[in-house]
Structure 1
């Protein structure tokens, strides 16, 4: 028996907006697309910059139950440690690639750029999922911290893929670029696990090797990488769907 799967169509207004925004996007960025990329790049950039300010004024947060005892006092050492967080890395990738698209007259064509773009999109979505399902706790007191927390963990994980779907040129997320992009979170994980025992500190409690064991932490990181590959591959499928 043949089963026909119904096609899921986008709303007419959304399809029209996508067509208008992308008719010239592969070559020349239209003003609406440029404004969207500018906004989608400026917000994570502000998130990354305010992270430095927060690190300079606030020590690492003690986490109950972890075995590691290292950390950073408020000051420049904690400020320059901010890129060690997956959240910072993912938002920085989105900021850099979005602002590049906003600034250029023509969309980049290099594999390296689109691998970084793909890595940023996949990583920032993982940031939103992991933070809001596992790590989210009590709100912090300062307005700056609340702004930083909201932008990096709630707004950007939704805004970045939305702007990509509406305005990025189609056909750029390929299997090769997904694999190249996966090298970025893999490098982050490798550096984090190599650095952790030396400074007796990890950016997240689920990386606590002494308490959880190498096998458990390895499986956790493998699971995160698998989710990353699945999500970026899904973006590639959606990319081809939108192109059609």
Structure 2
């Protein structure tokens, strides 16, 4: 019976329902609109040279996570027969991206929201990056992604990208003096405080990842009960 269920799920994953296509279309439009407009404002801000601003743009975990959402959603919607779509359609990949974008939302709305006062399009784009896109992708994961095959070992793999990102930011910041987030600024806080902050955020990634896996395993148990 379990084999039959997995076979049905596999067939379902090969095609998108109308509701899934409509939802992904909205998500793709909002994600790319936000990223492109934010890039335009950032690269023309005059805060540094164009080349430096380009590097800084992709030094934000917010941007990287939203970009992963955009690439994942676009490939699943428009390029399902390609290798990149096969990669992004993998359960552990979609789930990892969901974890990353929700961490973005949590850290911003709990820690960073009140540090800056934004107006106009900057305020709108900020809400799209930190609230709208994260919630939309979480909803997509909850309602459209079969998550029964998630494993506890996935958590370790999901931590690799945030770790590599942190190493990059700290190493580059040591030479450039630019840190995208105040809690990573070694010049202001000192190395020990930054390492403690990194540990706390790592725990957040791990706990949220464990929650996602637990949800998947709970879903699997419910489905097994239905098959008996």
TM-score normalised to the size of structure 1?
0.75
CA distance in 1, matches of 2:44, 2:124: 15
- The Cα shift of 1:142 comes to 2.9
Equivalence for 1:220 = 197
1:84 paired residue among 45, 56, 59? 59
2:6 corresponds in structure 1 to none
Asked if the contact 1:91/1:124 (under 8 Å) is kept, the reply is yes
Q: Is the 1:54–1:79 contact (alpha carbons within 8 Å) kept by the matching residues of 2? A: no
Q: Distance in 1 between matches of 2:174 and 2:215?
A: 40
Contact conserved, 1:33 with 1:167, CA < 8 A, in 2? yes
Match of 1:54 among 38, 41, 48: 41
Match of 2:164 in 1: 187
Q: CA deviation at 1:102?
A: 1.8
Q: Give secondary structure in 2 for the equivalent of 1:102.
A: helix
8 Å contact from structure 1 (residues 124, 157) kept in 2: yes
Match of 1:35 in 2: 22
Number of the residue aligned with 1:140: 118
Matched, 1:174 2:151: yes
Structure 2 Cα separation of the partners of residues 58 and 147 of structure 1: 17
Offset at 1:185?
0.9
CA distance in 1, matches of 2:88, 2:144: 19
Cα RMSD of the aligned pairs, angstroms, is: 2.6
Note the C-alpha offset of 1:216.
Answer: 1.4
Which residues of structure 1 form unaligned runs of 5+?
1-21, 60-71
- Say whether residues 1:162 and 2:115 are aligned partners: no
* Cα drift, residue 178 of structure 1: 2.9
- Are the counterparts in 2 of residues 56 and 75 from structure 1 also a CA contact under 8 Å? yes
Give the length in aligned residue pairs: 210
Deviation readout 1:2-45 (Å, 9 max, x if unpaired): xxxxxxxxxxxxxxxxxxxx795423221211222232233222
Q: Counting helix residues as a fraction of each chain, which structure ranks higher?
A: 2
